[in-house]
Amino acid sequence: MMNVGIIGSGQLGYMMINEGRRLGNKYFVLDSNGVGPASLIADAHFSVDQYKEFVDKCDVVTYEFEHVLEEALLYAEDQHKLKPSIRPVELKKDRSLEKDYLTGIGLKVANYRVAHSFSEAVRYAKDFGKAMIKNSFGGYDGKGQTIYDNGNYEELKGEKFVVEEFVDFDYEASIIASRSEDKSFRYHDPSFNYNRNAIFIYNYAPIMPANMPDIAKKLMDSLDYVGVMGIEFYVKNGEVIINEFAPRVHNSGHHTLLGSSISQFEEHVRAITGIPISQPILYRPSSSINILGTKLSTDAWNSILSMSSTQIYWYGKEEIRRRRKVGHVNVTAGTVEALIDKIGKIMEIIYPDGIENYI
């Protein structure tokens, strides 16, 4: 039994605590946003100015999001308590470092160039023909990025940009993998992911893994990584190109809460507390569908839960606004075909007038 600290108090931390409960640990949260979902169910929560007290109280400290209080990360790292280490967070702070690191260890990303002004970025984009221009610092869920297409783009502010050649992918995919201190490596079956307006909408597993597990292992070994990582890919003609990685439990791993022998959240807690991680078995094809920017009506709630093998996770966020994740639906089915059919029905229930009105 350990005191486990989580930096960040969103829904990822919340599910980490809820899934980690059975292991008997205590869970403490460093909450940078008032009282977030994770704080509501933690054994105790601390405000950001209490970060030293928080770290001192914990046997191990992890993060549920990589853009959190740097002092807390540094102090936990300094106390040899931070898992995963601060290294992947540093890579994530600057997209250009992430790209350079991935290519440096021989992994394939989209062709890219680093620009030090927006006008330079536009020049590179023009060279590529069609490209994504992304602010190198911060930004997630599509913030701080624009598509350059045939001279059309949105102006971005910033000092450094990564310009990626547009990948005309067949589909997007991801893998959730875990690695422990003793270098054991495990992974959940990769999933097909549907994103829209640069935000994750739904996914389902399993899909053919291609070489995604090998890529995950190579990346995690190179970082001597401890914990769960999510890696997003573009897939084109069976070839797998890394979009980006997340050094934490991942939005595309929520489906592991239903229909799997272990969830990504329990796997993460096991890895960072030094107990054996487990090769996940997917009992049946499984999907997760985000609830974004809408409070489900009672009818919608009941319609979804009346379907066979469904769960709703409601995060208890007070404010519901466009693009904000407020919950998700998990669903399984006997076959991938039947699952896709159920996903369609659930999407219609959640977004009766079309997803574009919520994101």
Residues at the annotated binding site for ATP? Answer: 95, 134, 139-145, 164-167, 172, 243-244
Please report, in range form, the residues annotated as the binding site: 95, 134, 139-145, 164-167, 172, 243-244
Question: In the complex with its own copies, which residue's Cβ is closer, 4 or 91?
Answer: 4
Kindly write out the interface string for residues 238-277 of this chain, putting x where it contacts its own copies by CB under 8 A and - elsewhere: --------------------xx-xx---x---x----xx-
Residues 150, 306, 318, 319: which binds its own copies (CB under 8 A)?
A: 306
Q: Decide: is 335 part of the binding site for its own copies (CB under 8 A).
A: no
Kindly indicate which of the ranges 39-47, 78-86, 96-104, 112-120 contains the residues binding its own copies, using the contact rule CB under 8 A.
Answer: 39-47
Q: Decide: is 23 part of the binding site for its own copies (CB under 8 A).
A: yes
Compute how many residues bind its own copies; rule: CB under 8 A.
37
Q: How far is the CB of 79 from its own copies (least distance, A)?
A: 23
Is the CB of residue 329 less than 8 Å from the CB of residue 296?
Answer: no
Measured CA to CA, the distance from residue 4 to residue 340 in angstroms comes to: 37
Q: How far is the CB of 316 from its own copies (least distance, A)?
A: 5
Q: Decide: is 35 part of the binding site for its own copies (CB under 8 A).
A: no
Kindly indicate which of the ranges 156-164, 199-207, 313-321, 340-348 contains the residues binding its own copies, using the contact rule CB under 8 A.
Answer: 313-321
Measured CA to CA, the distance from residue 291 to residue 132 in angstroms comes to: 26
Residues 159, 171, 281, 357: which binds its own copies (CB under 8 A)?
A: 281
Q: How far is the CB of 91 from its own copies (least distance, A)?
A: 30
Both structure tokens of 226: 């401890």
The CA–CA distances, whole Å, from 186 to 86, 88, 298 equal 21, 19, 39
Q: How far is the CB of 252 from its own copies (least distance, A)?
A: 18
Question: In the complex with its own copies, which residue's Cβ is closer, 129 or 276?
Answer: 276
Q: Decide: is 10 part of the binding site for its own copies (CB under 8 A).
A: no
Residues 97, 309, 320, 347: which binds its own copies (CB under 8 A)?
A: 309
List of residues contacting its own copies (CB under 8 A): 1, 18, 21-24, 40-41, 43, 258-259, 261-262, 266, 270, 275-276, 278-279, 281, 283-284, 301-302, 305-306, 308-316, 327, 332
